[in-house]
Structure 1
């Protein structure tokens, strides 16, 4: 227990002393249960919920209701684990099933909640699973309900934090900057009140994990991993800020630790070790930025080699996967999508169109439009090895996927496919001896990219279009426009090394020795732990040595 606050009257009924759960942080979330054990399980579930450790949170909430079958807030908690607002994911069937275990109707469930505050919590989550209206409409109504709850109980830190999360969830996976910043203000305020609250640190980070605002969230980024060392997502989440600032050593360390936590838990549970997944994708990308190509290549091959045995395990343990909110099919899909992303990163960052990554086969069955990223990588690799017929085939497949996506509601994916199509088409046109047409196509991709909301993490188009534009302009001798293009690319991805390298070369070719020397020095600093034989490192060191 960290501290207690003496309150009177209505406030005392809705507050409780702060409690700490080792490895997960501290929280105050009073409920009406009279079971000490059920309340302890509930608090653990609430902390895990704030940390997006959804399967473990659901397990804790189920334990709480088993200990106290009439514990309404335990059913609320499990239902909440099926709504992943920031990720724009909702398992409506599972959420409704969790609520139905409390009572057959919203009215029956409300009757099980003994206090106005708990009735308000239940009423809010009912909105998410009501089935009325569209998902965006329900998300907006849920946010409004959480705002009312937060105003009615201003001393309930969790009400404030879940309101912040609901604000960000209204974006439907496409960042609404004003809403995110408003959520960040709420989260920071709670963090100042309780710097050991993982939800406060976590949501503050999420609210500001873009290059324009990330510097304002370095404090929670440095804190979250220490607040919740037993939560893998907490370890990874810090890297959202580090990546937005180009702090590659920190990005790599955060995701290395996240993988250690994941695999320690997997080993304890008798599950296969994870070699693919979101954290590995970020780790591989960070290795490439650090110039650690060999480590990045090992990461990709480890993922590739793990898919067959991991899929076999999943097929034999469907019951275990159900407790992890997954199925064998979903698990296999996740592995293959991760391999697709890691292969794409490897091909683009290494520039090797004929290496192991380029020839890695990805099972894209069932991926739908997302398979377009694999088409792009196939074509990119083909152009790198000067196989224009293969690139034409990939472009045709990618163009067909884009055309198919234009009739869907997912305009963001359709826009990305258009960017990938124009980038690949531009590269192909240049390879076919049509440089102006090629540059025009890539410029079109870059302009489209500028219209999209920022997506955190490694570049979603795999090869940032402004960076690609800069490289092609530089090859054509247009150093001024190339330098501008690289500068724009670096605004979206600060300290990205391929953009820095392109800018250094453009500065040098344009005769700006001072600027080129400064940029090459920055690269030497970033690559302090790079592979000793990295050609780009030698290039940077030689330039700096030649221009003291």
Structure 2
């Protein structure tokens, strides 16, 4: 087990947070959970290796890398130290999974690990599996490399059935290679089947509840995720990501107060540790939850805090997405269409982030009676969709395609083509419902199914609108817009 000093969660939550404090590096977190990953390196580095793996399981990649590097300095012959450094470049559930700027460094580290030739066949299996991920990107698509890694980790897990880390890393590989279009959630269910039994045997392991939360982060399985969600924050409260992750399940179940509590703690911890990406991620979930409970003033305060943050690297998807969509959420969720029409898309963000702002602008134009101007935004989204397809990002290309057709639907409504508007929006809702969201987002900014209900209400079809709002609420419980839309539709239906 790792030798980690226990810091009470209450102490962490009560520590003051200074918004103006300059971000800087803090000492590595202390309470990370218990990990035991025996390696054939010098015994003196084993506790630090365990600690590095614990950090890795909470996606504290920079801190984990520093810890693995310390192991490599203290034991230059430790192959698994270089495996660990290479693993910190593989962000399996984030975007991009392998940042292009770090690929060369990752390849160098995995080559170092291979050259040291660990004595253990188990360690050789871990290294050989990770090496598959870092094969030349120009020759082998990431999707193929991720599947190759999953299959290799399957072999490591089956060859070492009593090895907890082999099972946990294989479960993560299954989640990383799960297709967003697989609504049977086959990989997620297989990962959960691996993790649930060992969760009972190793109740303080950070990776087990973390990956269970991700496995259950969908409408079908979310109720099963509550025990893991509640456990993870208690196991590793020093990791901002561990404090945030329960809110994935809370969001799925519409437990907004729980989500707010979770993300306030995560935001504070991330700020104290200088982790801007994690801080913004928590802030985005906070804005989302505040809006669903009608706490618009608190959501507005978070937006004001974002404006005080300097040097936002919007080219980083995690930072760019959160900082871009937060103000859009407030405007769009509250139907402030003239403000939406004035949104200026960011210039340096990834194309799928730019698309969010273009969509909101187009939606604002269409819904405020300017469908001809909205056509320009439709064209811009079409260009962004093609850019994503060319780069091989089929998932986000499909999402942008849905956003484009949503504007077209509202433009058709504004142009007095009600049947075309309904047909377009229904196709958007069906397509959106068929694809799972990615972990970095709470969900669509404005679900297409919810928009379909609103569109039917505008066409004075409350009974049909009510059915769509009910489906929307089954997909995303307790969303403010769907709840109030359903109430309005029910009232109008009963009065007819």
Fold similarity call, TM over 0.5: yes
Taking structure 1 as reference, are residues 97 and 369 closer, same or farther at Cα in structure 2, changes over 3 Å only? closer
1:18-67 CA deviation, whole Å, 9 max, x = no partner? 6545410011111122242x222211110011111111111111111111
Question: Residue 449 in 1 paired to residue 432 in 2?
Answer: yes
Structure 1 residues 345 and 417, CA gap change in structure 2 (3 angstroms) = same
1:236 aligns with 2:244: yes
Q: 1: distance between equivalents of 2:205 and 2:70?
A: 22
How far off its partner does 1:330 sit?
4.3
- Within the candidate set 211, 214, 222, 1:214 is matched to 222
62-71 or 454-463, larger mean C-alpha shift: 454-463
- Aligned to 2:116, which of 101, 109, 114? 109
Q: How does 1:412-451 map to 2 (within 5 A)?
A: 412-451=395-434
| 2-structure distance, mates of 1:362, 1:344 | 11
Determine the structure 1 residue equivalent to 2:174.
167
* Structure 1 pair 424–95 and aligned structure 2 pair: CA distance change class (3 A): closer
Provide the residue aligned with 1:126 in structure 2: 131
Alignment partner for residue 346 of structure 2, among 363, 378, 390? 363
Q: Distance in 1 between matches of 2:409 and 2:100?
A: 42
CA distance in 2, matches of 1:147, 1:469: 43
**In the alignment, which residue of structure 2 is the partner of 1:76?**
83
Q: Given the superposition, is the C-alpha separation of residues 238 and 63 from structure 1 closer, same or farther in structure 2, using an over 3 Å criterion?
A: same
- Aligned residue pair count: 468
Q: Does 1:188 align with 2:196?
A: yes
CA contact (8 A) 1:276 1:335 kept: no
The equivalent of 1:284 in structure 2 is 287
Structure 2 residue 319 is matched with structure 1 residue 298: no
Does 1:507 pair with 2:486? no
Question: CA-atom RMSD, angstroms?
Answer: 2.7
Partner Cα separation in structure 2 for residue 453 and residue 497 of structure 1:
21
1:42 aligns with 2:49: yes
Whether 2:268 is the aligned partner of 1:260: answer yes
Matches of 1:139 and 1:150 in 2, distance apart?
Answer: 16
Q: Does the Cα contact within 8 Å between 1:419 and 1:449 map onto a contact in 2?
A: yes
Q: Deviations over 1:110-169 (max 9, x none)?
A: 2xx122222222222222223373322222222222122222222211111001011112
Secondary structure of the 1:495 match is coil
Query: Per the alignment, in what secondary structure is the counterpart of residue 221 of structure 1?
Result: helix
Once the two structures are TM-superposed, the CA of residue 479 in structure 1 deviates from its matched residue by: 1.7
CA distance in 2, matches of 1:387, 1:275: 38
**How far apart are 1:92 and its partner, in Å?**
6.6
TM-score by length of 1: 0.79
In 1, Cα distance between equivalents of 2:169 and 2:77: 23
Change (3 A) 1:436 1:202: same
Taking a change above 3 Å as real, the CA distance of residues 62 and 95 of structure 1, as seen in their structure-2 partners, is farther
Match of 1:411 among 353, 376, 394: 394
Q: Quick check: 1:125–1:142 contact (8 Å CA) kept in 2?
A: yes
In 1, the alpha carbon distance for the partners of 2:308 and 2:126 equals: 45
Asked which structure has the greater CA Rg, the reply is: 1
Separation in structure 1 between the aligned mates of residue 473 and residue 440 of structure 2, nearest angstrom: 14
Paired with 2:284 and 2:129, the residues of 1 have a C-alpha distance of: 35
Q: Structure 1 CA distance, aligned partners of 2:174 and 2:110? A: 27
1:409 is paired with a residue whose SS is coil
Aligned to 1:524: none
Q: TM-score, normalised by structure 2?
A: 0.87
5+ residue gaps, structure 1: 1-16, 312-327, 514-548
Compared CA separation, residues 373 and 239, structure 1 to 2 (3 A): same
2:39 maps to 31
> What are the superposed Cα offsets for residues 391-449 of structure 1, whole Å, 9 maximum, x if unpaired?
33323322343355455532222221221112111112212222222222212212222
Quote how far apart the aligned CAs of 1:238 are.
0.6
Q: Distance in 1 between matches of 2:335 and 2:489?
A: 19
Change over 3 Å in CA distance of 1:387–1:334 after alignment to 2: same
Retained in 1: the 8 A contact 2:320–2:349?
A: no
In the alignment, which residue of structure 1 is the partner of 2:27?
Answer: none
Aligned-partner Cα distance in 2 for 1:242–1:189: 23
Distance 1:63 1:164, change over 3 A: same
User: Which moves more between the two structures, 385-394 or 246-255?
Assistant: 385-394
Shift of 1:474: 1.5
For the residue of structure 2 that corresponds to 1:86, the secondary structure is coil
| Structure 2 runs not aligned, ≥5 long | 7-30
- Judge conservation of contact 1:160–1:186 (CA < 8 Å) in 2: yes
Which is further off, 450-459 or 412-421? 450-459
Which stretch of structure 1 is more off in the superposition, 215-224 or 416-425?
A: 416-425
